Amino acid sequence: MKKLRVGVLASGRGSNLQAIIDRSLRGDIDVELAVVLSDVADAEALERARAAGVSAVHIPPGRFKTKLEPEIEARYVEELERHGVEVIALAGFMRILHDEFLERYAGRIVNIHPSLLPSFPGLRAQKQAFEYGAKWSGATVHFVDAGVDTGPIILQAAVPVRDDDTPDTLAARILEEEHRIYPEALQLLAEGRIRVEGRRVLIDPPSGPRKGGERP
Active site residues: 113
Interacting residue with ligand GRF among 8, 9, 10, 49 (CB under 6 A): 10
92 interacts with ligand GRF by CB under 6 A? yes
CB contact at 8 A, 31 and 20:
yes
Alpha-carbon separation of residue 128 from 99, 113, 160 (angstroms): 28, 13, 14
Interacting residue with ligand GRF among 4, 16, 137, 194 (CB under 6 A): 16
Cβ distance to ligand GRF smaller for residue 10 or 110: 10
CB contact at 8 A, 85 and 56:
no
Burial class, 1, CB count within 10 angstroms (exposed 0-12 / middle 13-18 / buried 19+): middle
Cβ distance to ligand GRF smaller for residue 12 or 213: 12
Cβ distance to ligand GRF smaller for residue 92 or 191: 92
Residues 44-83 that bind ligand GRF (CB under 6 A): none
Least distance in angstroms from the C-beta of 174 to ligand GRF: 7
Choose one: 13-21, 46-54, 154-162, 192-200; the region binding ligand GRF (CB under 6 A). 13-21
Cβ distance to ligand GRF smaller for residue 2 or 180: 180
Task: Return d(Cα 14, Cα 178) in angstroms, integer.
Answer: 12
Q: Is the dihedral of CA 146, 148, 150, 156 positive or negative?
A: positive
12 interacts with ligand GRF by CB under 6 A? yes
Q: Identify the three-state secondary structure at position 70.
A: helix
Q: Print the binding letters for residues 100-139 with ligand GRF: x by CB under 6 A, - otherwise.
A: ------------xxx-------------------------
Q: Identify the three-state secondary structure at position 169.
A: helix
